[in-house]
A and B are shown apart, each in its own frame.
Chain A
């Protein structure tokens, strides 16, 4: 956006009205002004964010992020372009995503970060008129190859959406659905075990253990989102994609999810799309900045937030646009 001092409260592109259904998020609050020093900006958010603020020191953006990525390359994207009909949404994106690491995609609305995310489990295949060119290698195998069944790919690459979308079934059935259709269990007790482990790993077990057979849609928003994460974990994925998983949640639920993401990092390759730069700074080790369908810059989160190479990145993270 060209107006340097105008921002919508939720950190979206200036002209876009805020979605009234979304709870106020931290993203807006961490961006008080264009010229504020980076280290001071996040201090304003600390009181609303106890889970993170307590433990952290002077430089919040890098608090949870180790200095270097911890895993080898899991996904390697080469020259990915995406077209919706005649419109090109993504231009020649090449990016390596390491394993056992949280990688965040940031950028203004419509910049192509969700589109890129959806390439990694071929969800774009389900949209009519969508066309993807380029290569995405997962562990060295091209996931767009004819020999790859996208349905099986999606079992390996779990996905969590912006709005919590549990199936309108019981909590148990939500988690058990994936293992059931993929034939991961052969007995009821095995299934019970998977459900319990998945819910525990998603940090939801204690809250729902006594009502596994009540409706999943009856949970609160944050609980629903953790249920959805449990559902994704249940099929033993290698990669978990998260498309703005906290944008519909309140700050406390967000903190819980972020904590969970940090725990899951040890076992999975996690990619998270977020509008909140503070969130990217808190949970991710690697950050990629997208703008107008292009990958502008990527690197260690600390690097991107403290010392961006590109002017546009600096403008975005300092709130000059977006």
Chain B
């Protein structure tokens, strides 16, 4: 920590990567040229997380200035790929992203034990970033959670309400037939069409904020609605009519019959259907592409009207990214997504097994 180069009040102004690079080069006895090309080349092997961590350290404890401290930070994606053997010396030197000289440095670092490999927890604590080694899924997870919250708050009451009306209250006739055919077809409409609906209706017509979990949640809610209605109706159908007759004959009104007896008995089935449709909504990507949820959103969203990413669209963005290291991140993001999906689906299956009732 060179006191001459660190401003006590504004530590993040210091280029710590360069500082470290110069120190390392000095230790190896390499004399840099006037433009500092060597140090710049060395610097690119270190991630900017190093800078944040060093600045943070100084801010918390200004007395470290002037001392030598050890800071652990991730290497850059290129260094990482080299260590993993994804970039080799066999490739054309002009095309590959790591020069021979940098490779030597990296080999040196490895030899003297300055480099250890470990799990990069930034994956879980950071939002998206343009630098693969710093990019994390937290922003997308929060975005997905906010979106799912909107979806659940809209789709579940609406879906259950509609199903209860159609199954328990509506007089069977033309209108209910029409609604029924309509719902069956809505369930099979391609998801991208819902994206077009969201774009035209919510963004261009109602001027809701683009890329926001609010719009995403609304679109997914409309998508999830038919599934929830169909699942709820079939579990309401499974409640035997004798229960309804018993309650009605006791002098319960139809509303009391439904809300005191039928709906509670149908609840396990309703919940199973709901969880499955929520899991489906969580993994849905195509409509999100059209309402702008594939834009680069570095932060972590704090409200449903702020721009946000979502887990599946993050997978899509990272898969499309040019840096090779993003492909590994994509796999990691998919694992996160799949964990959520499997937990939700397994919960639904368990719920069904546990509460399945034969009349």
- A contact residues vs B (CB 8 Å cutoff): 121, 123, 126, 128, 151-156, 158-159, 161, 163, 165-168, 177-178, 181-182, 228, 231-232, 235
Contact = CB atoms under 8 A, between A and B. Distances in A.
Nearest to A178: B250
B249 A151 contact: no
A177 B247 CA distance: 9
A178 B251 contact: yes
Contacts of A126: 244-245, 248, 254
B249 A121 contact: yes
B250 A128 contact: no
A154 B248 contact: yes
Contact of A235 (B246, B247, B250, B261): B250
Given A128-B171, A177-B260, A228 B246 contact: yes
B242 A165 contact: yes
Contact of B261 (A159, A167, A231, A232): A167
Contacts of A235: 250-251
B251 A155 contact: yes
Interface of B: 171-172, 240, 242-254, 256, 260-261, 265
Contact of B249 (A158, A163, A182): A158
Contacts of B265: 168
Nearest to A179: B250
A126 B243 CA distance: 13
Closest 8 CB pairs of A and B: A155-B251, A159-B249, A165-B242, A154-B251, A165-B246, A178-B250, A151-B253, A181-B252
Nearest to B239: A168
A163 B250 CA distance: 16
A199 to B, nearest CB: 16
B250 A232 contact: yes
B259 to A, nearest CB: 11
Contact of A167 (B247, B251, B253, B256): B247
7 contacts: A126-B245, A154-B249, A158-B250, A163-B242, A168-B243, A181-B251, A232-B249
Given A126-B248, A128-B171, A165-B242, 11 more contacts: A151-B252, A154-B250, A158-B250, A163-B242, A165-B246, A168-B243, A177-B247, A177-B250, A177-B260, A181-B251, A231-B250
Contacts of A159: 249
B251 A151 contact: yes
A85 to B, nearest CB: 12
A156 B265 CA distance: 27
A161 B249 contact: yes
A167 B240 CA distance: 11
A156 B261 CA distance: 21
Nearest to A160: B249
B249 to A, nearest CB: 4
Residue of B246, B253, B256 most packed against chain A (CB within 10 A)? B246
Residue of A151, A152, A158, A178 most packed against chain B (CB within 10 A)? A151
B187 to A, nearest CB: 26
Contacts of B256: 181
A168 B250 CA distance: 15
A123 B252 contact: no
A166 B248 CA distance: 13
Residue of B246, B247, B251, B265 most packed against chain A (CB within 10 A)? B251
Contacts of B260: 177, 181
A123 B265 CA distance: 22
Nearest to A125: B248
A154 B254 CA distance: 12
